[in-house]
Amino acid sequence: MIGQIAIVLFDGFAFGMLLFVLSVGLSVTLGLMNFINLAHCAFGMLGGYVAVTAMRQLGLPFVASLPLAFLAAAAVSVIFERTLFRRLYQAGELNQVLFTIGLVFVAAATATYLFGTGQQPIQLPSWLRGSVEIAGMRLGAYRMFLVAVALAITALLVFGLERTRFGAQVRAAVDNQRVAQGLGLDVDRIFAVTFAVGSGLAGLGGALAIEIVGLDPSFGFHFLVYVLIVVSVGGLGSVAGSFLGATLLGIGDVAGKYFVPEIGSFLIYLIMVAILFMRPLGLLGRR
């Protein structure tokens, strides 16, 4: 029983780490630009399809397709940011929601047109298949890989935000955009770069998600709700908040469906509503 709980916790944590990679970019861009980008997971879906195509058409190994997923999502997102999204920074949240949800619809239809409605299977390398036995528990190799990747990304993000000059600029802009502009920071460039990195991470998350949850044209919708829960519960603009929110949601979702399957599907929404009622700014949000 103890072992079972430990495995469920581990699987939940791994799922949480996947959610973290998918959502952390949205949290930072939301904190930075206050732009509610519901198309965030559409970029994740793009990354997924790029990885699938790279493996199938170019014969690339799985791990080599991951950077491509990141780069493609980053590149496409920055085009959207520069041409369309930036017009909506000053618009109300309703317009942002409508525009980006419209983009999700279009993305889903485009994916259907190009790839059909079916799931996209992928072939993992042998070292990522099967499981590893640690302290008497059989843990999935792929899930361990997922955790390692997510922790590495967390470390990079924390380092990048806390220790680099650009990171300091981003933090200043998150705290107060007007002041940052007054200090002579190029807020436009900060926006574009942050948006690209955030969407790129979503693309990477989309590629990493295929093995866990599959990939089909509804990905941009399906995961949107999870990602939004992570961001709102964790608090906008906070890497630590996203990490916490993703971990809680991942474990809560997996454990809920495992131990109380009858109510597991609405337990997470109940908890989310309760948390936001107590803390409207999220667990670690400050504004």
Binding mask 180-219 for another protein (x = CB under 8 A): -------------------------------------x--
Nearer to another protein, 13 or 85 (CB): 85
User: Which of 45-53, 66-74, 149-157, 271-279 is the region at the interface with another protein (rule: CB under 8 A)?
Assistant: 271-279
Among 61, 93, 132, 155, binds another protein (CB under 8 A): 93
Is the distance from CB of 124 to CB of 211 less than 8 angstroms?
yes
Task: Supply 188's token pair.
Answer: 């436009």
Among 3, 61, 92, 121, binds another protein (CB under 8 A): 92
Binding flag, residue 108, another protein (CB under 8 A): yes
Binding flag, residue 280, another protein (CB under 8 A): yes
Helices (H), the chain: 2-33, 40-57, 62-83, 93-115, 141-163, 165-175, 177-182, 187-213, 219-234, 239-259, 264-278
Binding mask 213-242 for another protein (x = CB under 8 A): ----x-------x--xx-xx---x------
Is the distance from CB of 204 to CB of 17 less than 8 angstroms?
no
Binding flag, residue 260, another protein (CB under 8 A): no
Binding flag, residue 251, another protein (CB under 8 A): no
Task: Supply 189's token pair.
Answer: 């460039």
130 torsion bin: left (phi>0), alpha (psi -120 to 50), beta (else): left
Rounded CA separation 46/72 (Å):
8
Backbone angles phi, psi at 40, to 5 degrees: -55, -45
Rounded CA separation 39/207 (Å):
16
DSSP 230: H
Among 5, 63, 64, 87, binds another protein (CB under 8 A): 87
Smallest separation (angstroms) from another protein to the CB of 2: 30
Could you say which residues in the range 110-169 bind another protein, by CB under 8 A? 110, 112, 117
Is the distance from CB of 65 to CB of 204 less than 8 angstroms?
no
Is the distance from CB of 117 to CB of 130 less than 8 angstroms?
no
Among 45, 66, 73, 103, binds another protein (CB under 8 A): 103
Binding flag, residue 98, another protein (CB under 8 A): yes
Please give the residue ranges that form the binding site for another protein (CB under 8 A): 30, 34, 36, 84, 87-88, 91-95, 97-99, 101-106, 108-110, 112, 117, 217, 225, 228-229, 231-232, 236, 262-263, 265-266, 269-270, 272-273, 276-277, 280-282
